[in-house]
C-alpha cells in the first residue's frame, strides 16, 4: 500500500497490505509474548517507555514532518502532537512504577481476623488497539504506553491512511528493548484485518478510537470481549452574555479549525446568548475569513487539508443539505478537493445532522438562546456527550453547567477542543465506553489478583463455623 499525502497525492511511504491470515498470525505472536511481558519488571517497562520518550525528544522535528505529511495537520499542530506523545509516554512510564495495588482490610469481619493479604493489578492479556488518522502518533501512544506499563502485549491496527508514525514509534519501542512479539502492527484495510482481530478469543481487550458506526459493528461482533471505545461527539460550547468575548472568540476559532475540524473535540455547536449573538457571530465569521489555508509544512499555514476527496464530498453534502433546509451560510464552504474553507452556519434546524451528528470537518453552527436553562437543554440535545464547554464570569453558572451538562468533561472558559493527556478522557451515551488517559487506560488493561494468607497456628483454635461464612 502506498501512503499518500492528502494535500497533493504525493507518496510518503509504503506498507504491506495485510490479510486476515496475517492478522491471526500477529495475534499468535502476541500470545507467545504474554509470559515474557508478565515477567518484565515494572522498572524494565518504565525504562523502555522513558527511553522512547527521550528518543522522540531527539527526533521531534522529523516526527512532526512525518505526521504533517501523512495526515492532515499543519506543522505547528504536528509539533504539538509530538510534545503530547512524549508526555503520554512519560506519564505511562511513571504509572508503571505505581502499579502496586493495596492491602485488603481482612480485620473488618470476624471471618478475617487470622488472615492478611493484598491485591495487585495483573495484565489483562492481549490488547487489540485500533487508532484513527487524525492523531497518528499521540493516540497510538495512548494505546501502547498504558498497555506496556500494564504488561500487556498489543496488536495495533493503525488507520490505513496514516500508519507511518505508528510504525516509527513501534521501531523505537523495539530498539528500547520491548520483547519480540509484544507489539505487532497490522496494516491494511480495516474491513479485511479488523474482524479477525476483534472476534478472536485470544483478544482480551479492544481499545478503539473512531466512528460510531464502526464502534457498533465491533461491539456487535466482539461478544464478551472487554472494550474501551471513544466514538466521537458533537461538542457544544456555550457563550453567555457575561463572557469575555475576546477569549471566547479566540478559543472557538482555534477549536473550529484545529486539524481542519477532523477532531472529536471540534467546536461544532456554538450556543450563544441572544443579546451578544450578533457581535459574536460577526467576530467568528471575520476570524474564519482570515484563516490561512496552505501547505501543511508552511510555518504560516493555519489550517491544513481534509483526509480525502470523499471526506470533502461528505462534509459539503451535509452543509448543502442544511442550507437547503433553511440554514444560512455566514462564511466559507468553498471546496477544492481536500481543501475546504471553514464554514459557519446559523438558522440550522434542531433535527439537522449538523446539530445532532458528528461532522468531522471544519463546520460549526451558531445557535441563539434566551437563557442559561435553554443553553443547557440545547447542548444536551444530541445523543453524544464527550466534552462540553461554557464561557462565563458567573461562578454559579459555571458550577451549574458542570453539574447539568451531559458530558465526560466540562471546560469552563475554554473551548471543547482541549485535552490534557493525564485527564480521564471519554464520554457519555454514544460517545463511547470507558475512559482513556494513562491511568484510566491502565485500569482497563489490568485486573486485580487477590493474595490471601491464613495464619494456621492462630486460626487453629478459632470457631470453625466462621469459616463457612464468606
Per-residue CA distances from 363 to 143, 419, 445 (Å)? 29, 20, 36
d(CA 25, CA 33): 13
Q: Provide the annotated active-site residues.
A: 230, 264
- C-alpha cell read off for 182: 509484544
Handedness of CA 401, 403, 406, 410 (dihedral sign): positive
Per-residue CA distances from 383 to 210, 215, 307, 332, 432 (Å)? 16, 15, 26, 27, 11
Residue (of 265, 164, 146) closest to 205 by Cα position: 146
Q: At what angle do helices 164-175 and 138-150 cross, to 10 degrees?
A: 30
Residue (of 366, 424, 376, 420) closest to 398 by Cα position: 376
CB of 469 within 8 A of CB of 111?
A: yes
Q: How far from chain centre, in Å, is Cα 163?
A: 16
Q: Please, which residues bridge with residue 208 across strands?
A: 130, 229
- C-alpha cell read off for 105: 482490610
CB of 261 within 8 A of CB of 357?
A: no
d(CA 356, CA 358): 7
d(CA 407, CA 236): 10
CB of 416 within 8 A of CB of 252?
A: no
State the Cα angle at 449 between 446 and 451, rounded to 5°: 155
Amino acid at each position: 500500500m502506498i501512503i499518500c499525502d492528502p494535500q497533493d497525492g504525493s507518496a510518503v511511504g509504503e506498507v504491506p497490505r495485510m490479510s486476515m491470515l496475517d492478522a491471526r498470525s500477529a495475534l499468535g505472536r502476541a500470545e507467545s509474548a504474554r509470559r515474557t511481558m508478565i515477567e518484565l519488571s515494572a522498572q524494565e517497562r518504565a525504562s523502555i517507555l522513558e527511553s522512547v520518550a527521550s528518543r522522540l525528544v531527539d527526533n521531534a522535528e522529523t516526527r512532526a514532518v512525518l505526521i504533517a505529511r501523512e495526515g492532515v495537520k499543519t506543522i505547528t499542530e504536528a509539533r504539538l502532537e509530538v510534545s503530547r506523545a512524549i508526555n503520554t509516554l512519560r506519564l505511562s512510564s511513571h504509572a508503571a512504577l505505581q502499579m502496586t495495588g493495596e492491602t485488603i482490610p481482612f480485620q473488618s469481619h470476624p471471618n478475617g481476623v487470622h488472615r492478611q493479604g493484598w491485591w495487585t493489578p495483573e495484565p489483562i492479556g492481549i490488547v487489540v488497539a485500533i487508532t484513527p488518522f487524525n492523531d497518528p502518533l499521540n493516540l497510538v501512544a495512548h494505546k501502547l504506553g498504558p498497555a506496556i506499563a500494564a504488561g500487556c502485549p498489543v496488536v495495533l491496527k493503525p488507520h490505513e491512511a496514516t500508519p507511518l508514525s505508528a510504525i516509527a514509534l513501534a521501531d523505537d519501542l523495539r530498539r528500547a528493548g520491548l520483547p519480540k512479539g509484544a507489539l505487532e502492527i497490522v496494516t491494511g484495510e480495516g474491513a479485511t484485518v479488523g474482524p479477525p482481530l476483534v472476534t478472536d478469543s485470544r483478544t482480551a481487550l479492544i481499545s478503539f478510537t473512531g466512528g460510531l458506526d464502526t464502534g457498533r459493528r465491533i461491539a456487535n461482533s466482539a461478544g464478551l470481549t472487554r472494550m474501551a471505545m471513544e466514538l466521537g461527539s458533537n461538542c457544544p460550547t456555550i457563550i453567555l452574555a457575561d463572557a469575555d468575548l475576546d477569549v471566547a472568540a479566540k478559543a472557538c476559532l482555534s477549536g473550529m479549525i484545529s486539524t481542519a475540524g477532523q477532531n472529536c473535540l471540534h467546536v461544532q455547536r456554538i450556543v450563544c446568548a441572544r443579546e451578544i449573538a450578533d457581535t459574536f457571530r460577526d467576530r467568528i465569521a471575520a476570524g474564519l475569513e482570515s484563516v490561512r489555508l496552505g501547505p501543511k509544512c508552511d510555518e504560516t499555514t493555519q489550517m491544513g487539508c481534509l483526509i480525502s476527496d470523499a471526506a470533502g464530498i461528505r462534509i459539503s453534502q451535509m452543509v448543502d443539505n442544511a442550507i437547503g433546509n433553511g440554514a444560512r451560510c455566514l462564511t466559507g464552504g468553498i471546496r477544492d478537493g481536500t481543501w475546504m474553507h471553514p464554514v459557519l452556519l446559523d438558522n440550522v434546524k434542531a433535527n439537522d445532522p449538523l446539530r445532532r451528528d458528528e461532522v468531522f470537518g471544519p463546520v460549526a453552527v451558531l445557535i441563539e438562546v434566551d437563557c442559561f436553562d435553554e443553553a443547557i437543554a440545547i447542548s444536551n440535545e444530541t445523543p453524544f456527550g464527550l466534552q462540553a464547554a461554557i464561557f462565563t464570569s458567573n461562578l454559579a453558572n459555571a458550577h451549574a453547567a458542570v453539574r447539568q451538562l451531559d458530558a465526560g468533561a466540562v471546560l469552563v472558559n475554554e473551548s471543547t477542543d482541549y485535552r490534557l493527556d493525564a485527564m480521564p478522557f471519554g464520554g457519555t451515551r454514544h460517545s463511547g465506553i470507558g475512559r482513556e488517559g494513562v491511568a484510566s487506560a491502565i485500569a482497563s488493561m489490568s485486573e486485580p489478583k487477590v493474595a490471601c494468607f491464613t495464619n494456621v497456628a492462630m486460626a487453629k483454635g478459632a470457631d470453625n463455623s466462621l469459616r463457612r461464612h464468606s
